[in-house]
Amino acid sequence: MTHMIEIHGLHKSFGDHHVLKGIDLTVDAGEVVCVIGPSGSGKSTLLNCINFLEPYGPGEIWVDGTLIGYSKNGNGALVRVADRTLNQAREKIGIVFQQFNLFPHLTALENIIEAPIHVRRIPRRHAVEQAHELLRKVGLLEKANAYPARLSGGQQQRVAIARSLAMEPKVMLFDEVTSALDPELVGEVLAVMLQLAKDGMTMFVVTHEMSFAKEVADRVIFMDAGEIVEQGQPSNIFGSPKSERLRGFLARIRV
Amino acid sequence: MDFKWTIFVESLPILLKGAIITAQLTVISVIIGLIIGLFGGLGRVSSNRVIKRLALAYVTVIRGIPLLVTLMFMYYGLPAIGIDLTAFTVAFLALSVTNGAYVTEIIRAGIQSIDTGQMRAARSLGMPYGLAMRRIILPQVVRRVLPPITNEAITLLKNTALVSTIALTDLLRSGLEIMASKANTFSPFAGVALIYLLMTMPLIWLVSRLEKRFAVPGSG
């Protein structure tokens, strides 16, 4: 079978700074993968490469059978695809950011229906129906007409998740989505993510929430210095870490 | 006391005629300047290097040359190479192009002031760059740039006085002509100054309204 996400020999550099040093990774459909690791380990960069917000290379990233950002020419060399092709690929990949990035001039509802109407070109009436359904799912139906500035951080992040889901993505990427939240608001966002996982969504979650990784992840990946150091079931990663680097990391975050 | 009420009153109809020219020039140049500035601003942040450099060259050249020189060059210089434009055409072209350069810089700064996360979020939803610019970025930019753009319009209105140097009977020139015919310097210029003030005051009021209205970004 083909995997939902397949990453082969992925490298990424910012100038001289080599951030990703050969990542190989697969994520199956319906799988929840959590990526942990110290800051600067390249885990957010990896996530941003998956929908080509960061152009990568060399290496290959396939999502649902589509090579992201490039196509192969006759010689098997990679050439950048047209923007239009990239945009189509991106519709399959939802992403939720640390800073929410809701559109401040639009209400919660308008944030959600914007891309379905203008990118997927579905009728406004259907988009609004779907948005109401999604707002109910994240528990914010009564905030449909509120502007982001009137919402708490946790509420904004739940709207952002609904906005991504409105494009009916095959994969959802979460980039430290609770890191900018006050502690008492973290739970409501994690609850939405847990429900999403139960519904069978394929999820790639970069997180500092070890309890979430422990309880929800099918697999945990530990990254350090641009490499995947160790991966496995949460019980193994947290219970019996093999590598020295992972043991050190776990010891530091438990202080 | 050189102020003569009768001369002041007699000159008003003539001054108002000049004021119409001034108002026409201002309105046309503000509108064309906005159009130029929108595309100029988009050009300044474009990822296409040629477009980006053209926009920068335009802004640099226009901002580096005094408007008075641009006017004189176009009115007296261009006929020498066979381009003979009317004074009004020269005036609105020079004013529009100048205003366009300043608006370009305001809009560039406005676009760059929007958090980059907005564009990332829009693109991640599959929006093409142009759509994201039009639907997500520019609506936010408009709120931020309206006050400085209105300020530019005030500057432009006052700068139209420079066209009096190229045989265009605007408000200032009307005052100069009355001064010559009535042999009175104080009264017509009092009228000129008063009319400029009356024309700029609504704009000044508008700026303060806009600044208050958009003081809290995104509060809708």
In tens, the pLDDT along B127-137 reads 999 999 999 99
| Across B100-117, average pLDDT | 96
Judged against a pLDDT cut of 90, whether residue B217 lies above it is answered with no
pLDDT tier for residue B219 given thresholds of 50, 70 and 90: very low
For A198, residues 6+ apart whose C-beta sits below 8 A from its C-beta are: none
Interfacial A residues in 55-94 facing B (CB < 8 Å): 83-84, 87-88, 90-91, 93-94
Q: Which of A106, A172, A173, A179 to mutate to test the interface with B (most CBs of B within 10 A)?
A: A106
pLDDT tens digits, one per residue of A8-39: 999 999 988 999 999 999 999 999 999 999 98
The ranges of chain A with pLDDT < 50 are none
- Tell me, yes or no, if B118 comes closer than 8 A to chain A by beta carbon: yes
Q: What pLDDT sits at residue B29?
A: 94
Instruction: Report yes or no: B143 and A105 within 8 Å, Cβ to Cβ.
Output: yes
Enumerate the residues of chain B whose CB falls inside 8 A of the CB of residue A118: 127, 131, 135
| Across B149-160, average pLDDT | 92
3-state secondary structure of B68: helix
Q: Which of A179, A96, A82 is nearest to B117 (CA)?
A: A96
Q: What pLDDT sits at residue A255?
A: 53
Instruction: Report yes or no: A158 and A121 within 8 Å, Cβ to Cβ.
Output: no
Cα separation of A213 and A35, whole Å? Answer: 8
Q: What is the CA radius of gyration of chain A?
A: 18
Whole-complex ipTM = 0.91
pLDDT tens digits, one per residue of A161-171: 999 999 999 99
For B171, residues 6+ apart whose C-beta sits below 8 A from its C-beta are: B15, B18, B19, B21, B22, B160, B161, B192, B195, B196
Q: Which of A167, A192, A199, A165 is nearest to A177 (CA)?
A: A192
Strands A32-36 and A93-96: unpaired
Q: Which of A83, A97, A98, A103 to mutate to test the interface with B (most CBs of B within 10 A)?
A: A103
Q: Which of A81, A95, A100, A101 to mutate to test the interface with B (most CBs of B within 10 A)?
A: A101
Judged against a pLDDT cut of 90, whether residue B58 lies above it is answered with yes
Q: Using the beta-carbon criterion (under 8 Å), do A105 and B123 form an inter-chain contact?
A: no
What are the residues facing B110 on neighbouring strands? Answer: none
Cis previous bond, A58, omega within 30: yes
Write down the number of H helices and E strands in chain B.
Answer: 9, 0
Is the pTM here over 0.80, yes or no?
yes
B115 vs chain A: nearest CA distance in angstroms?
9
The type of residue at A165 is L
The type of residue at A23 is I
Q: What pLDDT sits at residue B1?
A: 53
Q: What pLDDT sits at residue B12?
A: 85
Tokens representing A116?
Answer: 């379905």
The mean pLDDT value of chain B amounts to 90
Q: What pLDDT sits at residue B182?
A: 80
**Which residue stretches of A79-149 are H helix?**
83-90, 108-118, 124-137
Q: Is B66 exposed, middle or buried (0-12, 13-18, 19+ CB in 10 A)?
A: exposed
Enumerate the residues of chain B whose CB falls inside 8 A of the CB of residue A99: 115, 117
Backbone angles phi, psi at B3, to 5 degrees: -75, 120
pLDDT tier for residue B220 given thresholds of 50, 70 and 90: very low
Top-confidence residue, B126 or B210: B126
Instruction: Report yes or no: A171 and A5 within 8 Å, Cβ to Cβ.
Output: yes
A75 vs chain B: nearest CA distance in angstroms?
28
Tokens representing B66?
Answer: 């005094």
